[in-house]
A and B are shown apart, each in its own frame.
Chain A
Amino acid sequence: MVKSSREVVCDHLTKIYGKSKTRALDSLNFTLPSQGIFVLIGRNGSGKTTLVRILATELEPTSGSASINGIDVVEEVRKLREKIAIVPQEARPIPWMTPLQTVLSYLLWRGFDYGRAKTRALQSLERLGLAESANMLNRSLSGGMRRKVMVATVLSSEAEIIFLDEPTTGLDPISRREFWEILRTIGKERFTFLTTHYLEEAEQLADRIGIMDGGKLIRVGTLEELRKSVNYEYSIRILSPGHNFPALKNGEVVIGTAGDIRILTIENEAFKISRELTKRGIKFTINPVSLDDIFFYLLSRKGEK
């Protein structure tokens, strides 16, 4: 494998779990720049967490190799651990500790002197709006604040590469949007590798997006690149299913997870279809193709293959 700097490289990376022989990662190959925010999306069990855990040196791959900024994740573990930090999926602050103690102890584990660790911990908490709660017990904090405490740990560190595995899962929509601001800031300072199953989140935050399914990375690129890869510009979502809708000359029908029907098509065709749907009294919405549409389009194409 040719190693180069400022890149994440996976070369036939495979992970098969124990006796069940579950193939969580299936000969994954990709290269992406380790800058800005990379968001990995996919359904539950698609292999997102396995990939993150391997890159963050928590889990050994079964075969293949991977490197971050030229540092091998298997062979140069100690070197890589100097540069990375992770908030794992379902990580939560210990209830009998305070946010300050949580961040401070993490920095001590990273080898900071006590005084410097405390200063950085307080700065990080202040930055995330947790200064007033710094000495409250974690158990008394809201779910959103607890998540912020976890992010404050890695934010306070000197790590150049941050892994956040589903950091906003379970947050209410308002807290999630607040969180996005924090993540945007982190992404400007360090390479942030984030997983989520909220497609809107990826659309809002990502400099690059990867779509995983069945242990494979089925597409990777900027949102624009992903849009172009679909070849359609508009998405018509049928809101009153059960009707016959017009035959398509240039477009495809995609079924979403909730069974909703979407027609992906080009601009001219979209307006023709819209007129026809209106005539037939079928309710619909029409929008430019979103990541949501791309996601289901690519998954359906993968199924056909």
Chain B
Amino acid sequence: MFNEKNLVQKRNRFSQILAAVLVNSVYEMRNYPIVLINTVLSPLSFLLVIVFVSQGALLGDAIVGGFIMSMFSAGAALQGDLSHLKNDFKLQDMVVSSPTTWQIYMFGMALSEIAYSLPALFVLVILAHYFMALTLIGALELTGVLVLIFLTSVAIGFTLSTFSSDIVQSFAFSRLISTLFSTIPPVYYPLTYVPLPYRYLAYLSPTTYAAELAQNAAGYLTLSSTTMALDWIILIVVTVTLFIIARNKARWREI
């Protein structure tokens, strides 16, 4: 029964992706429900602070910020999770020596991070439905920005995971990039709130461009078509560049 040869003639790619989603999000959320609360609370906590401080004036901006932070944190978390599974459980070594390719593994792991963020995204969608007046074009634009910012953070997370060799280091990296790219930059509030000399610093973060585009899509900011085009180009170039770096730096098989 266990000695069958050529049993699996055709590998099920969907199963291989599903494995990553199950291991890195579904089983964890099912067996440790506390992580569900954490994943919901993290982006909503900033949203609440901004709403309270602005006395409700920045509710829409804060919801947009919540979306961006959720997506960016999801991708950035990939770094800690990959490192954890590789170094502490040797799971990645087992997968390397299996018919799964690195592309499938990475795609599955990235999807698992989205799955992990679904509770937070669900709450944000409900809030957006009631408190934001998104047009269809605006919603599509917002979705595009969120996909791009997720891909950017996945590339950052993936690259950094190849540098860290233990869990303390990798979670420190994870927290650092989350703070640098989604908490400090003007993600939860308009860029115009940042005093001018520091505004240029904010433009060092890809999340600033994403927030600008998202706030524009939601109608909280009016960007000129040139600025919009520039923001899209920068965001796409940053994402592609980070993916190229990740592809060149990362090693599925060690040397």
Residues of chain A having any CB pair with chain B under 8 Å: 53, 56-60, 77-78, 81-82, 84-94, 96-98, 101, 104-106, 108-114, 117, 123-124, 137, 153, 155-158, 160, 163, 189-190
Contact = CB atoms under 8 A, between A and B. Distances in A.
Nearest to B31: A96
Closest 9 CB pairs of A and B: A111-B11, A108-B19, A91-B90, A158-B7, A108-B15, A88-B90, A109-B19, A56-B97, A88-B93
Given A101-B22, A156-B2, A81 B15 contact: no
B4 to A, nearest CB: 6
Interface in B1-48: 1-8, 10-13, 15-16, 18-20, 22-23, 27-28, 31-32
Residue of B85, B100, B253 with most chain A CB atoms under a 10 A cut-off: B253
B85 to A, nearest CB: 8
A111 B97 contact: no
A232 to B, nearest CB: 40
Interface in B144-179: none
A136 B90 CA distance: 21
B3 A108 contact: no
B11 A110 contact: yes
27 contacts: A58-B254, A59-B255, A60-B253, A85-B97, A85-B98, A86-B97, A88-B90, A88-B94, A90-B90, A91-B91, A94-B23, A96-B28, A96-B32, A101-B27, A106-B98, A108-B12, A108-B16, A109-B20, A110-B99, A110-B100, A111-B13, A113-B12, A113-B15, A114-B18, A157-B98, A158-B5, A158-B7
A113 B105 CA distance: 16
B238 interface: no
Contacts of A92: 89-90
Contacts of A124: 2
B1 A110 contact: no
Interface residues of B, number: 40
Contacts of A156: 2
A155 B2 CA distance: 7
B119 to A, nearest CB: 17
A91 B99 contact: no
A13 to B, nearest CB: 15
Interface of B: 1-8, 10-13, 15-16, 18-20, 22-23, 27-28, 31-32, 85, 89-91, 93-101, 105, 253-255
B15 A87 contact: no
A287 to B, nearest CB: 37
Nearest to B85: A94
B70 to A, nearest CB: 22
Contacts of A189: 2-3
Given A82-B99, A110-B98, A91 B16 contact: no
Contacts of B13: 111
A87 B98 CA distance: 11
Given A85-B97, A92-B90, 4 more contacts: A81-B98, A88-B90, A90-B90, A105-B22
A163 B97 contact: yes
B190 to A, nearest CB: 40
B99 A105 contact: no
Contacts of A137: 31
A109 B101 CA distance: 10
A101 B31 CA distance: 11
A155 B159 CA distance: 33
B94 A106 contact: yes
Contacts of B93: 53, 58, 86, 88, 91
A53 to B, nearest CB: 8
A57 B255 CA distance: 11
Contacts of B97: 56-58, 81, 84-86, 163
Contacts of A105: 19, 22-23, 27
Nearest to A56: B97
Given A82-B99, A153-B94, A112 B27 contact: no
A31 to B, nearest CB: 22
Nearest to A102: B23
